[in-house]
Chains A and B, each alone.
Chain A
Amino acid sequence: MKLKVEHKVGIFIIATVLLALAGLAYMAYKKGVFQAETTYVVSSRTGDGLSVGMPLYFSGFKIGKVKELELSEEGLVMIRISIPDNHAKWIRSDSKFLLEKPLIGAARLTVATKNMMSAPLSPQTAAVLTEVNDINDAIQRVQPILDQLAAITENVAALTNRLADPQGEMTKILKHSEKLTASLSARDSLLEMALGDRKSVRDFHASLRNTRQITDQVIVLLRKTDEDVYGKDGVLPMVVKALRELAANLVKTGATLDNVVKITSDAADSTKDLKLLRSDIDSAANSLNRLLDELNRKMPFRTEPRIELP
Chain B
Amino acid sequence: MNLRLNTKIALCLILTALIAGCAGSGDIPPWTYVAANRLEDFKRAALEGRTAAAERHFQRTVEETKKSGDLALLGRVYLNRYAVQTALLESFDDEAFQKIQAAHPDRGNAAFLSFLKGDFHRTDSGLLPPPYAAVHKVLVEGQAKPDINQRARLLRLLGGTPDDLTRLIIAGRLVLSGHEEEDILQEALGTASRQGWKQALLAYLHRLQILYENRREHEKSRIVGEKIKLLQ
Contact = CB atoms under 8 A, between A and B. Distances in A.
Given A59-B69, A114-B69, A307-B76, A296 B22 contact: no
B76 A309 contact: yes
Nearest to A100: B30
Given A59-B68, A309-B83, A309-B112, A303 B165 contact: no
19 contacts: A59-B70, A60-B27, A60-B32, A113-B69, A114-B69, A293-B33, A293-B34, A297-B28, A301-B25, A304-B29, A305-B33, A307-B39, A307-B65, A307-B73, A309-B79, A310-B83, A310-B84, A310-B165, A310-B169
Interface in B139-187: 163, 165-166, 169
Contacts of B34: 293
A310 B69 contact: no
A306 interface: yes
Nearest to B108: A309
Interface of A: 59-60, 112-114, 289, 292-294, 296-297, 299-310
B129 interface: yes
Most buried by A among B35, B65, B84, B165: B35
B77 interface: yes
Contacts of A301: 21-22, 25
Interface residues of B, number: 34
B195 interface: no
A302 B28 contact: yes
Contact of B36 (A289, A306, A309): A306
Interface in B98-114: 108, 112
A305 B76 contact: no
A304 B28 contact: yes
A79 B73 CA distance: 32
Interface in B62-89: 65, 67-70, 73, 76-77, 79-80, 83-84
Interface of B: 21-22, 25, 27-30, 32-37, 39, 43, 65, 67-70, 73, 76-77, 79-80, 83-84, 108, 112, 129, 163, 165-166, 169
A63 to B, nearest CB: 13
A194 B153 CA distance: 76
Contact of B166 (A60, A112, A114, A310): A310
Given A297-B33, A307-B39, A309-B76, A302 B84 contact: no
Nearest to B104: A116
B91 to A, nearest CB: 18
Given A294-B30, A310-B169, A303 B36 contact: no
Given A60-B27, A300-B25, 12 more contacts: A112-B69, A296-B37, A297-B28, A300-B22, A307-B36, A307-B65, A307-B76, A309-B76, A309-B79, A309-B80, A309-B83, A310-B163
A98 B141 CA distance: 53
Nearest to B87: A310
Contacts of A299: 25
Contacts of A302: 25, 28
Contacts of B65: 307
Nearest to A62: B27
Nearest to B39: A307
Contacts of A307: 35-36, 39, 65, 73, 76-77, 80
A174 to B, nearest CB: 40
Given A112-B69, A302-B25, A304-B28, A310 B36 contact: no
A111 to B, nearest CB: 11
